[in-house]
Amino acid sequence: MARIDFGGTKEEVVMRKEFPLAKAKRALKNETIAVIGYGVQGPAQALNLKDNGFNVIIGQSKAFKSDWNRARKDGWVPGKTLFDIEEAAQRGTIVKLLVSDAAQRAIWPVIKRNLNPGDALYFSHGFSIVYKDQTKVIPPPDVDVIMVAPKGSGTSVRRNFLAGSGINSSYAVFQDATGRAEERCLALGIGVGSGYLFPTTFEQEVYSDLTGERGVLMGALAGLMEAQYDVLRRNGHSPSEAFNETVEELTQSLIRLVDENGMDWMYANCSMTAQRGALDWKPKFKKATLPVFKELYQSVKSGKETKRVLNVAKKKNYRELLTKELETIGNSEMWQAGKAVRQLRPKQKARTVTKATKGVAGRAKN
């Protein structure tokens, strides 16, 4: 492991150069990796593993026709590399449980009875294991229980893999029955294209993940955007102006500067007026939202959020209700304005490669 200084705190992380793909393939050369679920994370992880030369099969219920058809479209062949969930679990020596958290509880009896001693049970989220009192997912003692959790959506996991960059992932071993659990775990992390892997526990992963999704990454971000948009509109600003100042500038400009070199670098590359406003108002937003984040974290840790998810997912008309909720967001003025703004973005033209630009590109890579 490499020991990296993260702002004064040193952490051990696993880099690709320390655990190269060739080593990962040797570690899993006799394994059959059964990816259960072809919805969100399943396609990306399965295709990345396949492209990297691992032996992969898919387990997907035919009842979900769109997911089954998507798997076929992606090249998985029924009866050869595409099976129903039970048969895939029977065939796999590593069973990657990548259906939704609620669905994991529903199919667990099928998965459990098809696990053999020495198999590995793989998760990309600590939800089912940590909240076992609610999910009833309790693995037998003779299998490895491991986790690789990419820090991005399935779409990003696949896109970054194809671009050659990868998504960073956390990893954890919950149960080591074979003595090979960590090796299997790291090999799978490298196989799905992780940029680097950092150790965690199932508990820490699910607490941070649920907090992040409900907080900055999705819930807080959407709420802040809506609040600012509403204030601008109520004060006479047009939908175009309100959306551009709220969303477009963030996603198309500023967040990219943060990605490149950090928040301080983004501030340094803005006008003095913007810098001053950001620095003066940042403490106010932190003070206003810190109590909300404390409440959120405790709700996650106590299992209240898990209970909420599982209870909603049990409703027979859940997908219908979800569609209505998403339509409410999509049909709001703010996101209809966003749709119009995206359509007005200039189309990107392929750049002509000249000797000069080749030189710049070459220097950038080095």
- What's the CA gap between 50 and 35, in Å, rounded? 11
**Per the structure block, which two tokens stand in for 130?**
């940590």
Report the candidate in 242, 241, 269 with the shortest Cα–Cα distance to residue 254. 269
Supply the DSSP symbol for 79: T
CB 168 within 8 A of CB 203: no
User: Tens of pLDDT along 6-65?
Assistant: 878 888 889 889 999 999 999 999 999 999 999 989 999 999 999 999 999 999 999 999
Alpha carbons 151 and 139: distance in angstroms, whole number: 25
Q: Which of 50, 96, 105, 125 is catalytic?
A: 125
User: What is the DSSP-derived secondary structure letter of residue 224?
Assistant: H
Superfamily designation of domain 2-200: NAD(P)-binding Rossmann-like Domain (3.40.50.720)
Cα distance between residue 110 and residue 147, in whole Å: 20
Please check whether residue 229 is in contact with residue 243, taking contact to mean a CB–CB distance below 8 angstroms. Answer: yes
DSSP conformation letters of 233-300: HHTT--HHHHHIIIIIHIIIIIHHHHHHH-HHHHHHTS-HHHHHHHHHHHHHHHHHHHHHHHHHHHHH
Which of 324, 339, 152 lies closest to 247 in space, CA to CA? 339
Tally of CB atoms within 10 A around 26: 12
List, in order, residues 6 or more apart from 232 with CB less than 8 Å away: 241, 242, 245, 246
Across the beta sheet with 56-59, what order do the strands follow?
A: 2-6, 9-15, 194-199, 167-175, 144-150, 120-123, 94-97, 33-36, 56-59, 82-83
- Residue 237: active-site member: no
Distance CA 250, CA 268 (A): 16
Give the model's pLDDT for residue 354. Answer: 40
Query: Average pLDDT by consecutive 10-residue portion of the chain (366 residues)?
Result: 80 89 96 95 96 97 94 96 97 96 93 97 95 95 97 91 90 97 97 93 95 95 96 96 95 91 92 93 96 97 93 89 94 95 77 38 32
Model pLDDT, residue 347 = 75
Beta bridge partners of 307: none
Task: List CB contacts of 86: < 8 A, sequence separation 6 or more.
Answer: 59, 110, 114
User: Which pLDDT score is estimated for 348?
Assistant: 60
**Residue extents of the structural domains in the chain:** 2-200, 212-344
- Quote the pLDDT of residue 166: 85
pLDDT at 349: 56
Tens-place pLDDT, residues 262-273: 999 999 999 999
